[in-house]
Amino acid sequence: MCGIVGYLGEKNTKEILLDGLKELEYRGYDSAGIAVLQNKTFSNYKAVGKLINLEEKTKDFTTKDFAVGIGHTRWATHGKPTELNAHPHVGENSYVVHNGIIENYVELKRSLEADGVKFLSQTDTEVIVHQFEKNLKIEKTAFEAFSKTISELEGAYAILLVTKSEDATIFFAKHGSPMLVGINQENEKYFASSDTPLIGHAKEVNYFEDGDYGFVSNDEIAIFSKDAKKQKPVFQAISTNRLSAQKDGYRFFMEKEIYEQSDVIADTLLGRLSEDAIHFDELDPAFFDGINEIKLCACGTSYHSALTASYMFERYAKIRCSVEIASEFRYREPLMCKDTLFVVISQSGETADTLETLKMAKKAGLKTLVVCNVDNSSMVRLADACILTRAGIEKGVASTKAFATQVTVFWMLSLYIAKLRDTMTSKKLAHQIFLLRGVPGSVKVTDTMHERIKRLSKRYLHGHGFFFIGRDVFFPLALEGALKLKEISYLHAEGYPSGEMKHGPIALADPELFTIALLPQHLLYEKSKSNVEELSARDSTICAISAIEFDKADDFIQINQCEDYMLEFFQMMVVVQLLSLEISVRLGNDVDMPRNLAKSVTVE
């Protein structure tokens, strides 16, 4: 995901910016850039790929004495990862870096273009610098022009802007994307989108609140709240531990990644939804010509998202769909027909078993598509077509946000194919798109929910096993909940279809068997409820997750009322992730690096 740094002071500005960007590398990015303003002259460098490319480009550029500078690492969302799309973006006399999304950039861009402004990039960010320069021509000061610009933006942002018209100042704004400013005794000012670049440089930091904007100069840190009231900075000591800073205050990467899901799902939806259609610029609609079946193939968590997808493909796009575990598919001499689209799913894009099945499908002449989180990975390079999830780097071995973005992509893809095959009315499609827009909100973790799960977790540390049960898409979610728990708690857990328990596993039921029951209000509620009642009658200890109170359960975790089963799916996904996390914490396990597991499994 994108990262921002900024510096105002007398030290080596170039090195400070590049070092700061290095500290943000772990977030993932595909291009980077810096702009330095010194003696009324701008120097700007950008490079695609790793920071080493930017270092190479700037090797003959030196800075000493006073300067202001801004830098950025970009994870492409609006426009491809090219130099032109990399930040900082330039106007006539100013540069800007930005994290987030400017939702009204199309309208702003149209009006600027009508005024004769020429755009160089495909990004939403570029409108900020042009809008600022337009306002600069009208307003009395650069700060007034900047304030006006911020008031005209809609969306989420962290912004730094530098301009020749005030060449010893950095302008900033924050709304929905993190940013902080740090200071030290040498009167230097450091900006960043998270703590790590500031460690070792700044002694104290001020975390901006949503709506804050203002400017920083040699003499002043001027912060204004969204209602234009001047605020006093609230400085606090900065952490000195880099690893904990990378976790942004969370105890574990897995916890941070669970909390990040709302943002990364929003990124995954970005630019892909309009009122009545799903857009995948990376796909040619003709790619689906002649396709009568979809086969999905993956391992682990990615396999669970594939299973979830199969319900949506058949339900919405009315296309035959089958799902395969990659390690099984490889050796069972499968029959492959040319009218089948072969889809592999992988967070890493490197999992050996999945990669091999992709090679098999290609060899058999099938069209292939990969849904992946890592651009340029082996699978992305090999498949005929690719949809990137935009989860950012996932560090926790137990996958969370990758799964969330995969399911989001599959929901979109099933609707995209539904439109191509004309299997859904436009009214229904528009409603589905409306529901998709609700996903980022549905996965937000509330303190109340997290606290409740923390408290409940102490009752689930023993016993002889867990059954996560659900029907329809809640069956793959049950599998995923059980996998999460196994991986980090080392307790035995299984995911099972609710209706299947009576065909054998119910024999295990006693108070020491823990059933985690997924009870969606909007999908087969009565049927699922009966299955849970059967287990309750046999004294299994039940933890029900539902929007509707359920009195046959020993414990109950309530999700919010919503209007569709998929929104319940996403809410319950967060609950099972947090439950696993908190059980593991209580057992004293290494949450991020559980025993025996690796993040990327490149052996068969």
Q: What are phi and psi of 486, to 5 degrees?
A: -55, -50
Other beta carbons within 10 Å of 205: 23
Q: Is the backbone of residue 439 left (phi > 0), alpha (psi -120 to 50) or beta?
A: alpha
246-253 contacts at long range (C-beta below 8 A, 24 or more positions apart): 246/26, 246/194, 246/196, 248/178, 248/194, 248/195, 251/585, 251/591, 252/396, 252/581, 252/585, 252/591, 252/592, 253/395, 253/396, 253/592
Q: Strand, coil or helix: what is 318?
A: coil
Task: Please identify, using beta-carbon distances, which residue of 126 and 255 lies nearer to ligand M6R.
Answer: 255
Binder to ligand M6R among 194, 347, 368, 515 (CB under 6 A)? 347
Task: Please identify, using beta-carbon distances, which residue of 39 and 596 lies nearer to ligand M6R.
Answer: 596
In the residue annotation, 599 being an active-site residue is answered as: yes
Give min distance, CB of 300 to ligand M6R, in A.
Answer: 2
Give min distance, CB of 577 to ligand M6R, in A.
Answer: 10
Give min distance, CB of 202 to ligand M6R, in A.
Answer: 36
Based on the shown chain and the rule CB under 6 A, indicate whether residue 193 belongs to the binding site for ligand M6R. no
Based on the shown chain and the rule CB under 6 A, indicate whether residue 351 belongs to the binding site for ligand M6R. yes
Binder to ligand M6R among 149, 302, 308, 414 (CB under 6 A)? 302
Q: Determine contact, residues 83/105, Cβ cutoff 8 Å.
A: no
410 token code pair: 């599959």
Q: What are phi and psi of 244, to 5 degrees?
A: -70, -30
258 token code pair: 């669970």
Give min distance, CB of 573 to ligand M6R, in A.
Answer: 13
Based on the shown chain and the rule CB under 6 A, indicate whether residue 399 belongs to the binding site for ligand M6R. yes
Instruction: Provide the 8-state DSSP code for 415.
Output: H
C-alpha dihedral over 226, 231, 236, 241, to 10 degrees?
30
Task: Please identify, using beta-carbon distances, which residue of 114 and 598 lies nearer to ligand M6R.
Answer: 598
By CB under 6 A, the residues from 14 to 43 that bind ligand M6R are none
CA separation for the pair 335, 79 (Å, rounded):
39
522 token code pair: 């909007």
Based on the shown chain and the rule CB under 6 A, indicate whether residue 300 belongs to the binding site for ligand M6R. yes
Task: Please identify, using beta-carbon distances, which residue of 246 and 577 lies nearer to ligand M6R.
Answer: 577
By CB under 6 A, the residues from 423 to 452 that bind ligand M6R are none
Binder to ligand M6R among 348, 405, 536, 580 (CB under 6 A)? 348
CA separation for the pair 454, 449 (Å, rounded):
9
User: Could you tell me the strand order of the sheet in which 213-217 lies?
Assistant: 89-90, 94-102, 155-163, 166-175, 213-217, 221-224, 230-231
Based on the shown chain and the rule CB under 6 A, indicate whether residue 388 belongs to the binding site for ligand M6R. no
Based on the shown chain and the rule CB under 6 A, indicate whether residue 487 belongs to the binding site for ligand M6R. yes
CA separation for the pair 460, 106 (Å, rounded):
51
Q: Which entry of 2, 321, 386, 562 is annotated as an active-site residue?
A: 2
In the residue annotation, 64 being an active-site residue is answered as: no
Residues in the interface with ligand M6R (CB under 6 A) total 17
Binder to ligand M6R among 70, 296, 398, 479 (CB under 6 A)? 398
Binder to ligand M6R among 58, 93, 194, 346 (CB under 6 A)? 346
413 token code pair: 């893809």
Based on the shown chain and the rule CB under 6 A, indicate whether residue 214 belongs to the binding site for ligand M6R. no
Exposure of 112 in the CB half-sphere (CA atoms within 13 A): 24
Binding range to ligand M6R, per CB under 6 A, among 78-86, 533-541, 559-567, 594-602: 594-602
Based on the shown chain and the rule CB under 6 A, indicate whether residue 593 belongs to the binding site for ligand M6R. no
Binder to ligand M6R among 283, 336, 587, 601 (CB under 6 A)? 601
Token pair 């800073």 is found at 245
Q: What are phi and psi of 101, to 5 degrees?
A: -135, 130
Site mask for ligand M6R (CB under 6 A), range 544-583, x = bound: ----------------------------------------
Task: Please identify, using beta-carbon distances, which residue of 85 and 261 lies nearer to ligand M6R.
Answer: 261
Q: Which entry of 57, 148, 444, 599 is annotated as an active-site residue?
A: 599
Q: Determine contact, residues 9/65, Cβ cutoff 8 Å.
A: no
Based on the shown chain and the rule CB under 6 A, indicate whether residue 592 belongs to the binding site for ligand M6R. no
CA separation for the pair 252, 246 (Å, rounded):
10
Task: Please identify, using beta-carbon distances, which residue of 298 and 435 lies nearer to ligand M6R.
Answer: 298
- Taking CB atoms, the residue at the shortest distance from ligand M6R is 300
Binder to ligand M6R among 309, 397, 413, 567 (CB under 6 A)? 397
Binding range to ligand M6R, per CB under 6 A, among 195-203, 231-239, 274-282, 396-404: 396-404
Q: How many helices (H) and strands (E) does the chain have?
A: 19, 25
Based on the shown chain and the rule CB under 6 A, indicate whether residue 354 belongs to the binding site for ligand M6R. yes
- Residue 375 CA: distances (Å) to CA of 75, 192, 350, 420, 445: 10, 25, 11, 26, 28
Binding range to ligand M6R, per CB under 6 A, among 87-95, 137-145, 294-302, 430-438: 294-302
Determine what percent of the chain falls in helix, strand and coil, rounding each to the nearest 5: 40, 25, 40
Binding range to ligand M6R, per CB under 6 A, among 33-41, 85-93, 155-163, 345-353: 345-353
317 token code pair: 């796009």
Give min distance, CB of 382 to ligand M6R, in A.
Answer: 14
Binder to ligand M6R among 149, 163, 301, 584 (CB under 6 A)? 301
Binding range to ligand M6R, per CB under 6 A, among 73-81, 85-93, 146-154, 340-348: 340-348
| Length in residues, the chain | 604
Residues that bind ligand M6R (CB under 6 A): 299-302, 346-348, 351, 354, 397-399, 483, 487, 597, 600-601
Q: Residues with catalytic annotation?
A: 2, 599
